[in-house]
Amino acid sequence: MTHRLVNVGGIQLAVREWASANSLPSIVLVHGLASNSRLWDGAAAELARRGYHVLAIDQRGHGLSSKPDDGYDLHHVTADLAGLIDELRLDHPVVAGQSWGGNVVVELALRHPEATRGVCGVDGGLIQLSDRFKNWDECAEALQPPRLAGMRSADFERMMRNNYRGWPESAIAGTLANMQHHDDGTMSPWLSFERHMLVLRGLWEHRPLDQLATLRRPALFTPADSGDSWSQSKRRDYESAMRQNERVRVEWFSPAHHDLHAQYPERWADVLHRNISEGFLG
């Protein structure tokens, strides 16, 4: 695995790359809100073992990428992704995104169908927050992130290991990498609170279900069923998506956490590989 910074549209995007030279398509992995590319490490390593050329990126404001004060709406972050694919001269990669990243890759397929052969939304892609909340203020109040800046890194790691007991070590390390760890033993999120809220506002404004019928690239969705009321609502959305467009395929992970790609990296990689090798995303 190698790491580099790629210039795209006036910013730098951090890219982790597992290289392989063969006829299989490249796979680009896109993280969710307040996450980072390292949450993909387990799945990326498994895909690379199967012979794929794999790249995982930090989106703007996140991880080791540039952190401008604006450009966090879906239009700009999707343009970042399209620009990266073009800059690296990737030949119609499969592009997978988790949560908010799922919405980004669906928007990529809608706005830039020439950039990809197909996309995968990992417990994301069809998120329409404006259907869940009466107004933006209610959404912002409910979904604003906790104020973690200044927390002791050791306390955060202890909490993560307790909450994610039994998860792969790659998932724990990836979660810890959501934070910048300081010499005094404290930490702070790579994504600032203010930029987090800008991303959230962009997600609030995004309505992918309204456009899904026009999607011209195949879209695989791998949602998580956590046994809650939101999971029931998601099932209705994915059933609607399949009725709207024959290019949509859904494979549920049940029971599973929202970060199912980190929780079950080999299993998720196997699902993606099967859908590529069978020709759905190939």
Is residue 111 very low, low, confident or very high in pLDDT (cuts 50, 70, 90)? very high
Residue 86 CA to residue 13 CA, distance in Å, equals: 13
When pLDDT is averaged across residues 16-40 and rounded to a whole number, the result is: 93
When pLDDT is averaged across residues 219-224 and rounded to a whole number, the result is: 98
Q: Which residue has the tokens 């390593």?
A: 45
> Is 57 among the domain residues?
yes
In which domain, by residue range, is 238 found?
Answer: 2-129+207-277
Q: What is the pLDDT of residue 56?
A: 98
Q: How do residues 208-221 score in pLDDT, each as one tens digit?
A: 999 999 999 999 99
CATH of residue 242's domain is 3.40.50.1820
Q: What is the pLDDT of residue 231?
A: 87
Q: Which two tokens stand for residue 235?
A: 């099932």
Q: How do residues 242-252 score in pLDDT, each as one tens digit?
A: 999 999 999 99
Q: What is the pLDDT of residue 230?
A: 82
> Is 263 among the domain residues?
yes
Listed residue (58, 81, 60, 82) closest to 70, CA to CA? 60
> Is 189 among the domain residues?
no
Torsion, Cα of 77, 171, 269, 218 (10° steps): -20
> Is 154 among the domain residues?
no
Show Cβ contacts of residue 251 under 8 Å, excluding neighbours closer than 6 positions: 220, 221, 222, 271, 275
> Is 66 among the domain residues?
yes
Average pLDDT, the chain: 96
Q: How far is CA 155 from CA 33, 78, 97, 113, 213, in A?
A: 22, 35, 29, 44, 46
> Is 94 among the domain residues?
yes
> Is 174 among the domain residues?
no
Q: What is the pLDDT of residue 188?
A: 98
3-state secondary structure of 70: coil
Residue 124 CA to residue 157 CA, distance in Å, equals: 26
Q: What is the pLDDT of residue 21?
A: 66
Q: What is the pLDDT of residue 119?
A: 98
> Is 197 among the domain residues?
no
Q: What percentage of residues in the chain have a pLDDT greater than 90? A: 95
How many structural domains is the chain composed of? 1
- Does the pLDDT at position 58 exceed 80? yes
